[in-house]
Copies of this chain bind each other. A is one copy, B any other.
């Protein structure tokens, strides 16, 4: 593969005329070739025109054809081999093993969506057959299925250059649902983006699908993103990134003549509650496990444990001691970009300078540029409750311990938290009664509740929820990871008394696809 530095509009490589950008190796500060040409509203319009042309053809392909397409994308990504990993390492500073794991996750994710749409689960077919004898009025024949929403705009995240980027969860689930996708490529990893984009282009050609099923656009500033979200062809948006950026795009989606769903994943503290029984049993272990989760990938996970809640006790002091020791031995890792590193330095300095906050421990000083020096802060529950600044996410390996006087104060702190992606309980049997009290509260605060685990690590499976109440995400009804993610891009349509010849296959009496269906309210 050769990197072109161009936009991928349908099957074409097109040079943008709005300037260029270069990727930068965050570990060395070195500029990476080639220069990436940047597009504008015209390129967005062209991609949207192609997507609209592709939509009806693509959405009406049998599920097996779309599944095959997803599988071929996975194969094409794997066929990129080391070139993809090498480029991603240079653009992100992430280690090889992590990127190889992320590539496996990305390809498995595509294959899982392929298997899911073949099963028809997500279509949730419902059939209420005709009741000609019913009184006082006969009932018509009514059949419901879900169809694709329309072309989708995807904004990839910097922290997962493969799994949440060009062929990441949003793209995979939208394509699985039957929606063409236009990706705004992340400026921090354009080469990685182009390689994956080329792999998708190849899969589109190999499957003889209309070229507009996929496009990839690079852009500077807000022009491309704003034009994409505002374009009438776009029917939904998937976004993973900063709170400010996400809210700005959400406002555009809302203000359209026709408002559209905006699925943004914005920010989270991912509180971990260290309950007394667990602390008394294994404070040292918990301290070590916490630091391992906190510093993984330089703390650059949406589900990084940025907040610890616990009740004062000698066991808590022991936890702090253990965590501090581990932290002091945790070598600094290169962060994804100079911008993310600067933001980390700013946000941790702001907390460190807060008079109500104590710095408990720090990692070793960083030797290379853009490295993340891990840090653990502590404050009191009353200070936390009084100061909204202490509720802000610090993106990176930083966490804040909130010391509570008793169970009631811990409950009060939880009830004042914003919405979260996750909430974790470290507990043993002695904590069950208290946990029973906490669970209804945690359900209202988070999309996923963990026991005796750490929030980093988001399994791609059927039961996963990677979502949560505002501001963790902009749409609490959904998940962006797991097979339920594709429901975001579907809508129900009901067919009344349609002759069998005109019915979609999955709605016909003979059920040729053998999908599970809800008939008269009963699963069959």
Contacts and interface: CB of A to CB of B under 8 A. Distances in A.
Interface in A122-174: 126-128, 136-137, 139-140, 142-144, 147, 149-150
Given A436-B502, A501-B432, A492 B447 contact: yes
B127 A463 contact: yes
Given A451-B497, A470-B259, A502-B435, A462 B521 contact: yes
Interface string A254-284: 1000110100000000000000000000000
A494 B140 contact: no
A205 interface: no
Given A119-B521, A451-B496, A501-B432, A474 B259 contact: yes
Interface stretch (A307-315, A325-333, A477-485): A477-485
A289 interface: no
Given A142-B463, A464-B144, A474-B259, A451 B499 contact: yes
Contacts of A462: 126, 128, 144, 518, 520-521
Nearest to A481: B494
Interface in A432-485: 432, 435-436, 439-440, 443-444, 446-453, 457, 459, 461-465, 467, 469-471, 474-479, 483-484
Contact of A494 (B149, B250, B448, B492): B448
A64 to B, nearest CB: 17
Given A447-B492, A467-B492, A520-B462, A452 B139 contact: no
Give this chain's copy count.
2
Contact of A115 (B137, B436, B439, B521): B521
B497 A459 contact: no
A476 B147 contact: no
B432 A499 contact: yes
A491 interface: yes
A56 interface: yes
Contacts of A498: 449-451
Contacts of A479: 492, 494
A116 interface: yes
A476 B432 CA distance: 42
3 closest pairs, A vs B, by CB?
A465-B494, A142-B463, A144-B463
Nearest to A461: B128
Q: Which of A60, A463, A499 has the most CB of B within 10 A?
A: A463
A206 interface: no
Contact of A144 (B474, B475, B484): B484
B116 A521 contact: yes
A317 interface: no
Interface string A497-524: 1110110000000000000101011010
A477 B127 contact: no
A464 B145 CA distance: 10
Nearest to A515: B523
Q: Which of A56, A139, A491, A516 has the most CB of B within 10 A?
A: A491
Contacts of A56: 440, 444
Nearest to A104: B136
B440 A494 contact: no
B523 A459 contact: no
A522 to B, nearest CB: 8
A360 interface: no
A494 B429 CA distance: 21
A461 B139 contact: yes
Contacts of A523: 121, 516, 523
A499 to B, nearest CB: 6
22 contacts: A56-B444, A116-B521, A121-B518, A121-B523, A128-B464, A140-B459, A254-B254, A258-B469, A261-B475, A432-B502, A448-B493, A448-B495, A450-B497, A451-B496, A451-B497, A451-B498, A452-B497, A462-B520, A464-B494, A465-B492, A465-B493, A477-B491
Nearest to A520: B462
A137 B458 CA distance: 12
Contacts of A142: 459, 461, 463-464
A413 interface: no
A45 interface: no
A501 B427 CA distance: 13
A520 to B, nearest CB: 7
Nearest to A483: B521
A496 B150 CA distance: 33
A11 interface: no
A451 B502 contact: yes
